[in-house]
């Protein structure tokens, strides 16, 4: 239907009648790369129609696709869906989602797309609707820092930039990612790079350069406008407190490097000017070293030395010297990004800095990573010119080793990460004899795969996450929806810990975990670590498991055992283990707890630490591994403890478990007969009362079974405790949480714990306990009143109805018992504390006087 070529990457995009886009590599005999479609989002060609138009961004990093019947979508080269106008109504499905006509009312391009075109800088995408050709729609875009070409990598902050603004991804006080919009004075924005310490942003437009102080929220400009206009920035780098500008001199058609201190933008403060040999294609900086690459592949390495302090009060001097020049002849496609690979300190990566550590970091890097236009990632040894291909289909990569010198950095054990069609890949340092041997330092982490709508921006080292961004749409009554980039986070801590444990770096793993203990989602990271290790362990072929089990005498621990040993150092351990157990098949629990510890001992630890919710989770594990008798015993102990702590919802879950599993307990008669009374403790005693079968709602005709009697006795003792202390709000929560039969209890305890000895003292005490000025207390009183009425408990009805001022209940009671009314009236009038009820007395007296038939009853109020 249509085609479009990404000239830089030599990719041909073919739009097809079946609604998909096929990508082909023109540099490799039109090899098919991949297919891009909306099928995975539940839309077929019947919904969108054939592809009508395709347009690549000017930098060839993304392509826009319009369909004839409906919608427009922007994709990255690797197939990440960056933006879509089609409203997503549900999760992925095989069939097309049904969308109501009203939902389409405010959807852009719902009539199809006939033409699309990007502006010169890729900030705006213009589209013409098939059915409304008289108007043009303009969609504004923000771009992520490309980490390629002549701009440096932004490690300290994750940045998007639009035509007139910067979108800064920052964690808030709760470490949740937010996007801060920062309006830029010089636009259109072409380059944005953050300083290594994260304090400044360098921003360049078509002319000029400005700095933004993130701490003080102030812009820093050139004082002389004529100087600013002389700068046509083609690239930006930070070298500590120096900003390096790759400047194009139009008058002489030459390129130069300008070194400005960040405290003063003026040619009078210019530290150094370096004339370049030609137009550079790639630049990078690491510590005191600068890499400049010219076409076709000439690499120059410079060393920078600064004498004096970089401050307005001093007069610093910068010297630049050439360290090496390489001219590499290669038939491969040209590079789009090159990054130094710092030399690794194998033993001290996660330990305190030593005296020799700074010397080690100052060594000249001898290797660099190369990303070519065709997506090939390779390592170049600059000592001998040897280049080793690592992988392909890569869009982005981040060199992480030795980039973050902060004490709280969590990613020092990673060499680099890359992102492409296969998702995110983590590369760990090589310790083998051949440092280019791929299997020595490549490890794919499938858990790092982002959703195909989340595009990774980079790393937040102090939080230990990979940051991505996705497009969100909100629909309203306006003609068009609101498009908003939404930051997403993917933790990498579990990957790093597993890597260290696999290499027996136990101390380093513990140090890294301690550094992360205060980070958000730490417990989730530990759980994900144990789950992935355990899942891999149980997924191994049975043959390898048998071989491992035969090596009983081997002192070397399995990865699962080392993981559990690491997790034992943290209070989250008990929670993590049982959470992983609940996410896996119960048939494998024995394998998990053989490494994690015996389930009854872990339950006991939780019980002693009063971690009752966690302890409750172990009950099912104990039932599976130790049998119903042991689980009943543990559950009964826990039930009593949760009642003492007023954890009634948890107590209700335990009651339901006990009654359900009690049948298994009774069926195992042979085991039950072997249990001594001492083992069952004081829980398995006979019930002091008997019930009829109608009360039990079971086939029992004489007496409760032992397991039910144990549960009911615990519940009734607690109910009596609450009733005796008039803890009525807790009583209501107890009844609701455990489904305790309050009606039957009240009938039996009318003359026992539920008896009210004196109306006046009862009214005063219950009024203080319930605190009737709150809504919840009134609801509790209503709940109790309903139950008291159902058992005709007069004393309680009078008290509760008075507190609730339920005149209709009191009139119904007093009109048949005049003596009760008189005693009630005298009591309220004779106690000063009850003056607030005098208005209630007047209302009651008025209503009772209107009742013609008053029948005297002999029952005293007591």
* Chain centroid, CA 753 distance in Å: 51
| pLDDT attached to residue 183 | 92
Judged against a pLDDT cut of 50, whether residue 845 lies above it is answered with yes
In a domain, 428, yes or no: no
- pLDDT value at position 133? 81
Residues counted in the chain = 862
Which residue is associated with the tokens 């959470």?
Answer: 579
Query: Model confidence over 744-791: pLDDT tens digits?
Result: 998 888 888 888 888 888 888 888 888 888 889 899 989 999 999 888
pLDDT at 337: 92
Listed residues 123, 140, 157: the one ending a domain: 140
The confidence score (pLDDT) of residue 703 equals 59
Q: Which of 291, 308, 332 is the last residue of a domain?
A: 332
- The yes-or-no verdict on residue 630 having pLDDT over 80 is yes
pLDDT band per the 50, 70, 90 thresholds, residue 666: low
Q: Are 195 and 278 in the same domain? A: yes
Q: Which tens digit of pLDDT belongs to each residue from 149-174? A: 888 877 778 889 999 999 998 877 76
CA atoms within 13 A on the CB side of 198: 16
Q: Which H or E run includes 712?
A: helix 706-724
For position 390, what pLDDT does the model report?
87
Same domain flag for 130 and 155:
no
For residue 691, the model assigns a pLDDT of 37
Asked if residue 355 has pLDDT above 70, the reply is no
Q: How many whole angstroms separate alpha carbon 645 and alpha carbon 174?
A: 30
Is the model more confident about 320 or about 426? Answer: 320
Q: What is the mean pLDDT of the chain?
A: 82
Sheet order of strands, 482-491 included: 455-460, 465-474, 482-491
Say whether pLDDT at 196 is over 80: yes
Return the minimum-mean-pLDDT range out of 20-24, 649-653, 661-665: 661-665
Name the percent of the chain lying above pLDDT 90.
Answer: 41
Band of the pLDDT at 686, cuts 50, 70, 90? very low
Confidence of residue 413 (pLDDT cuts 50, 70, 90): low
pLDDT band at 429 (very low <50, low <70, confident <90, very high): low
According to the model, what pLDDT value does residue 488 have?
A: 86
pLDDT at residue 557 tops 90: no
Looking at the fold, whether 161 and 132 belong to one and the same domain comes out as no
The string of DSSP letters for 404-440 reads ---TT-S-TT--EEEEETTEEEEEPPP-SSSTT-HHH
What is the pLDDT, as a whole number, of residue 653? 93
Residue bearing the bigger pLDDT, 57 or 840: 57
DSSP state, 716?
H
Q: Is residue 811 one of the residues assigned to a domain?
A: no
pLDDT at residue 848 in the model: 81
pLDDT attached to residue 650: 94
pLDDT of residue 351: 36
In the predicted model, is pLDDT for residue 700 greater than 50?
A: no
- In this prediction, residue 441 carries a pLDDT of 44
For residue 123, being part of any structural domain is answered with: yes
Q: How confident is the model at residue 437 (pLDDT cuts 50, 70, 90)?
A: very low
Least confident of 374-383, 603-612, 630-639, 702-711: 702-711
In this structure, is residue 614 part of a structural domain?
no
Helix runs in 456-588, H state only: 493-502, 506-516, 522-538, 542-550, 559-567, 573-582
Q: Does 125 lie in the same domain as 9?
A: yes
Asked if 241 and 126 sit in the same domain, the reply is no
- pLDDT digit string, tens, across residues 47-84: 999 999 999 999 999 999 999 999 999 999 989 999 99
Confidence of residue 18 (pLDDT cuts 50, 70, 90): very high
Contact (CB, 8 A) for 452 and 79: yes
Q: Would you say the C-alpha torsion 450, 452, 453, 458 has a positive or negative sign?
A: positive
Together in a domain, 254 and 281: yes
Ramachandran region of residue 526, left (φ > 0), alpha (ψ -120 to 50) or beta?
alpha
Q: Where is the domain boundary, 119, 140, 161?
A: 140
Stretch 97-126: mean pLDDT, rounded?
Answer: 78
Question: How many structural domains are present in the chain?
Answer: 2
pLDDT at 534 over 90: yes
Structure tokens at 769: 């306990």
CB-based contact 76:61 (threshold 8 Å) = yes
Count Cβ atoms within 10 A of the Cβ of residue 395 and give its class: 0-12 exposed, 13-18 middle, 19 or more buried.
Answer: buried
Residue 347 domain flag: no
pLDDT at residue 696 tops 70? no
The predicted-structure confidence for 223-280, as pLDDT tens digits, reads as follows 888 999 999 999 999 998 999 999 999 999 999 999 999 999 999 999 999 999 999 9
The pLDDT of residue 568 is above 80 = yes
Please name which of 653, 597, 646 lies closest in space to residue 621, comparing C-alpha atoms: 597
Judge contact between 231 and 245, C-beta under 8 A.
yes
268-269-271 Cα angle (round to 5): 120
Residue 30 maps to a domain: yes
The model's pLDDT over 456-498, given as tens digits with 9 standing for 90+, comes to: 888 776 666 788 899 888 776 667 788 889 998 888 888 888 8
34 and 65 share one domain: yes
What mean pLDDT is predicted for residues 371-379?
90
Average pLDDT over residues 623-636: 90
Is the pLDDT at 854 greater than 50? The verdict is: no
Predicted local confidence at residue 672, as pLDDT: 42
Q: How confident is the model at residue 509 (pLDDT cuts 50, 70, 90)?
A: confident
441 vs 260, more confident = 260
Residues 200, 63, single domain; the answer is no
Q: Same domain, yes or no, for 222 and 152?
A: yes
Q: What whole-number distance in Å separates Cα of residue 24 and Cα of residue 16?
A: 13
The helix, strand and coil proportions of the chain, stated in percent and rounded to the nearest 5, come to 35, 25, 40
**Region 205-213 average pLDDT:** 92
321 in a structural domain: yes
Least confident of 88-92, 220-224, 746-750, 794-798: 88-92
Tell me the pLDDT band of 328, cut-offs 50, 70 and 90.
Answer: confident
Same structural domain for residues 112 and 173?
A: no
> What is the per-residue pLDDT for 445?
58
- In 145-241, the DSSP E strands lie at 158-161, 165-171, 177-183, 191-194, 200-204, 209-213, 218-220, 233-239
Q: Is the pLDDT of residue 674 over 70?
A: no
Q: pTM for this one?
A: 0.72
| Closest among 416, 415, 414, 491 to 460, alpha carbons compared | 491
Structure tokens at 134: 């008289």
Do 39 and 159 lie in one domain? The reply is no
pLDDT at 579 > cutoff 70 = yes
Domain that holds residue 127: 2-87+107-140
Q: Which of 29, 48, 28 is nearest to 38 (CA)?
A: 48
| For range 723-741, the mean pLDDT | 91
The pLDDT, as a whole number, for residue 153 is: 77
Distance of alpha carbon 54 from the chain centroid: 35
**Per-residue model confidence (pLDDT) at position 403:** 55
Statement to judge: residues 15 and 133 lie in one domain = yes
Predicted confidence at residue 566, as pLDDT, reads 94
Residue 184 included in any domain: yes
CATH number of the domain bearing residue 308:
2.130.10.10
Least confident range from 330-344, 379-393, 411-425, 721-735: namely 411-425
């Amino acid at each position: 239907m249509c085609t479009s070529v990404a000239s830089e990457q030599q990719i041909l995009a073919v739009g097809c009648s079946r609604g998909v886009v096929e990508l082909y590599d023109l540099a490799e005999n039109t090899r098919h790369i991949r297919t891009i479609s909306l099928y995975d989002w539940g839309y077929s060609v019947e919904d969108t129609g054939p592809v009508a138009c395709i347009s690549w961004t000017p930098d060839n990093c993304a392509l826009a696709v319009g369909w004839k019947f409906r919608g427009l979508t922007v994709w990255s080269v690797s197939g990440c869906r960056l933006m879509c106008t089609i409203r997503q109504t549900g999760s992925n499905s095989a069939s097309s989602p049904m969308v109501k006509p009203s939902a389409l009312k405010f959807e852009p391009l719902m009539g199809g797309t006939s033409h699309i075109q990007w502006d010169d800088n890729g900030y705006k995408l213009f589209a013409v609707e098939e059915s409304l050709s008289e108007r043009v729609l303009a969609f504004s875009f923000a771009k992520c820092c490309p980490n390629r070409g002549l701009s440096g990598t932004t490690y300290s902050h994750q940045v998007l930039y639009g035509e007139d603004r910067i979108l800064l991804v920052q964690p808030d006080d709760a470490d949740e990612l937010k996007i801060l919009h920062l309006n830029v004075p010089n636009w259109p924005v072409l380059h944005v790079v953050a300083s290594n310490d994260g304090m400044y942003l360098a921003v360049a437009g078509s002319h000029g350069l400005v700095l933004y102080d993130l701490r003080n929220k102030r812009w820093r400009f050139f004082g002389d406008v004529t100087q600013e206009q002389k700068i046509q920035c083609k690239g930006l780098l930070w070298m500590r407190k120096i900003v390096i500008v790759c400047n194009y001199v139009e008058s002489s058609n030459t390129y130069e490097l300008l070194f400005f201190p960040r405290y003063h933008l003026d040619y009078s403060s210019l530290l150094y000017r370096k004339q370049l040999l030609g137009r550079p294609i790639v630049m990078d900086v690491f510590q005191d070293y600068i890499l400049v690459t010219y076409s076709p592949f000439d690499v120059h390495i410079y060393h920078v030395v600064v004498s004096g302090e970089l401050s307005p009060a001093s007069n610093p001097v910068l010297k630049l010297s050439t360290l090496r020049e390489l001219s590499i002849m290669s038939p491969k496609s040209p590079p789009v990004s090159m990054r130094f690979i710092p030399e690794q300190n194998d033993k001290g990566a996660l330990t305190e800095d030593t005296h020799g550590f700074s010397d080690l970091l100052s060594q000249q890097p001898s290797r660099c990573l190369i990303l070519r236009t065709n997506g090939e990632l390779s390592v170049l040894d600059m000592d001998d010119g040897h280049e080793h291909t690592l992988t392909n289909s890569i869009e982005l990569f981040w060199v992480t080793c030795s980039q973050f010198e902060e004490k709280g950095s969590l990613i020092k054990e990673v060499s680099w990460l890359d992102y492409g069609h296969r998702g995110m890949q983590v590369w760990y340092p090589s310790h083998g004899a051949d440092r280019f041997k791929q299997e020595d330092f490549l490890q794919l982490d499938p858990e790092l795969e982002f959703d195909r709508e989340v595009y990774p921006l980079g790393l937040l080292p102090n939080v230990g996450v990979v940051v991505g961004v996705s497009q969100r749409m909100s629909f309203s009554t306006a003609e068009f929806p609101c498009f908003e980039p939404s930051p997403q986070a993917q933790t990498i801590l579990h990957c790093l810990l597993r890597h260290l444990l696999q290499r027996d770096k136990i101390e380093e793993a513990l140090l890294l975990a301690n550094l992360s203990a205060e980070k958000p989602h730490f417990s989730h990271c530990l759980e994900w670590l144990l789950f992935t290790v355990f899942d891999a362990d149980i997924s191994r072929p049975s043959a390898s498991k048998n071989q491992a089990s035969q090596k009983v005498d081997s002192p070397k621990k399995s990865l699962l055992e080392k993981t559990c040993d690491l997790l034992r150092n943290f209070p989250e351990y008990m929670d993590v283990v049982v959470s992983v157990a609940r996410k896996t098949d119960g048939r494998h629990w024995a394998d998990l707890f053989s490494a994690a510890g015996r389930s009854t001992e872990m339950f006991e630890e939780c019980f002693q630490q009063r971690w009752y919710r966690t302890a409750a989770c172990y009950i099912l594990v104990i039932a599976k591994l130790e049998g119903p008798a042991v689980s009943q015993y543990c559950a009964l102990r826990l039930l009593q403890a949760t009642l003492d702590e007023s954890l009634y919802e948890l107590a209700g879950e335990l009651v339901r478990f006990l009654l359900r599993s009690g049948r298994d307990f009774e069926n195992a008669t042979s085991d039950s007969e072997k249990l001594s009374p001492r083992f069952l403790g004081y829980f398995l005693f006979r019930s002091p009362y008997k019930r009829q079968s109608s009360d039990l709602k079971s086939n029992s005709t004489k007496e409760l079974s032992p397991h039910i009697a144990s549960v009911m006795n615990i519940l009734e003792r607690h109910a009596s405790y609450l009733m005796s202390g008039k803890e009525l709000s807790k009583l209501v929560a107890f009844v609701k949480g455990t489904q305790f039969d309050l009606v039957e209890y009240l009938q039996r305890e009318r003359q026992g714990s539920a008896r009210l000895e004196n109306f006046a003292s009862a009214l005063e005490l219950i009024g203080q306990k319930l605190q009737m000025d709150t809504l919840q207390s009134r609801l509790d009183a209503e709940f109790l009143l309903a139950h008291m009425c159902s058992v005709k408990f007069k004393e309680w009805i009078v008290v509760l109805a008075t507190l609730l001022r339920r005149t209709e209940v009191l009139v119904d009671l007093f009109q048949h018992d005049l003596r009760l009314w008189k005693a009630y009236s005298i009591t309220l009038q004779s106690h000063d504390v009850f003056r607030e009820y005098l208005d209630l007395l007047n209302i009651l007296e008025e209503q009772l006087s209107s009742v013609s038939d008053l029948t005297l009853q002999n029952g005293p109020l007591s």
